[in-house]
Structure 1
Amino acid sequence: RMMRPVVIFVLLALVGTNVARGGKVAQSSLYGRAVPEKAIDGNRASKWRQGSCACTRKDLKPWWRVDLLKTHKVNYVTITNRKDCCPQRINGAEIHIGDSLSDNGNKNPRYLLLGAFSGGTQTFKCNGMRGRYVNIVIPGKRQYLTLCEVEVYGEPARDIVPTGGKVAQSSTSKNGVPEKAIDGNRANKWKQGSCTHTKEDFKPWWRLDLLKTYKVSYVTVTNRADCRRKNINGAEIHIGNSLDDNGNSNPRCALISSIPAGASKTFSCNGMKGRYVNIVIPGKKEQLSLWVNTTD
């Protein structure tokens, strides 16, 4: 008993800041006043009457989610289970981590299937899994999900703001040189001088050379706000190590169906490996104008 506080202190010193505390939370339903925020209130009190546990109703596939607001490398997740009764309710829960909100985030990669979990606190090592969303879900059965505290330890994923990379594009119109897509400025009107622009090429493309191979988690593209905002529709993001067809033959990360005028949209690439990031509009004659950010 005397050693337990020392062990906890050393663990927290190793894993760093609990990034869940500043996040936004949600859950599949609400039981009484057990709102999802109670799982990130900094209080590990694990008895129901202490009023510090989040809880869903008896849902089919109940879930709880924290949005870390940006992609992180998650090193550890610490879960405090209810201790006074029913600790077995959490058995079979899964931890999912990723950047997608498909199925409320429950389709992100599964880190761990929790086995038997007695009341108390356990820490799970996640080995730097990348993701903005951390979900805890009990799949395949109708159950209550009670979480008295969820702590997420990690660090923001590093932007490869590719100011050190090399850029190229299929052609250049006016002053829309390819370097403007990585100048760190999301200004989205042409007169502000921060957008690239190709001529009206057949299959126009833009390419970033990261100078070495990275695992790319996501790519953010900013569209023009003033005019030609529909030009980006149908563009594709490709990532890989080949320069065949100017890099456009590398595997596809995402299809850009559309981006609202002046908006930035982030596309998850799930750690695709590559030195080259291409944006190309295949199969038609078009002009390509954009701003790009990439995160490892």
Structure 2
Amino acid sequence: MQGPYDIFSIEVFRRRDCCDHSLNGAEIRIGNSLENNGNNNPRCAVITVTSDATVTFNCNHMQGRYVNIINPGVGKDLQMCEVKVYTTTQLTGANVAPRGIATLSSAPASVENSQDMAIDEHPGPTDALETCASVALQDNPWWQLDLRSIYRITAVSILSSGDCCSEQLNGAEVRIGLSKDKYNYQCGIMEGRFVHVYLPGLQKTLTVCEVEVYGTLLENVALRGLAFHSSSSLENSVASKVIDGNRSSTCIVANEQPGPWVTVDLLVPYSVTAVQLAYSADCCTVMMSV
């Protein structure tokens, strides 16, 4: 469909004059992978032909770009007149994962299985581990991706190895959030900078062959605004430093007083999806506590 969608239901129209058998037992599969021409993607339904010319299947908001109808077996034919795919949301955005920085919970299982192999845009053959990221046996292994900016994330696709290790992803959790240690758990469209694949449990091995993150970059509109703060006696503590785009070396300090504050005037109304704060980690964490 030239891009991933949140798919609600699929309608299949068959021939009424003949050939009922050609659709009986056919499978509808949805996903983002072209492995085995897309026929290995998750299954939405198995078709059972009825007297109706149209059969409808609820796919419970499965996400994917490719919709396959495959009739498994030897010497089979497949005939249909029309397929309709109903979606609730187009999962817009490019695969932004290659722009990020990947890390692992510990040293990779081998030199060939470094953290970057999961975002090299090369899933490789399904029967090999040469292009996969893998963590050696440990408790609660994880793979993390820092997208380096906040994105509105609409879909995350994870490809495992087909030859040996797909079961290693069973029970793994995908978490998205704005910081390295705080993540959102809700489904659907989410805003975040960090994508975390976490496998809870004792003595687990985590192997991830490719991770695709679809999303659009959220603009930092604070850079367009005007900043003010309650007061400061420090000469260089000017309010504009909190919206200069520099996280590492330019901070402000408001005087000790009841309820010190910082205000950013965005100049025009916006629908705000996320607010991120950066502070000096070497001295002032307690000053941000609430």
Aligning the two structures, in what range does the TM-score lie when normalised by the shorter sequence? 0.3 to 0.5
Larger relative contact order, structure 1 or 2 (CA cutoff 8 Å, min sep 6): 1
TM-score (norm 1): 0.43
TM-score (norm 2): 0.44
Q: Which has the larger radius of gyration?
A: 2
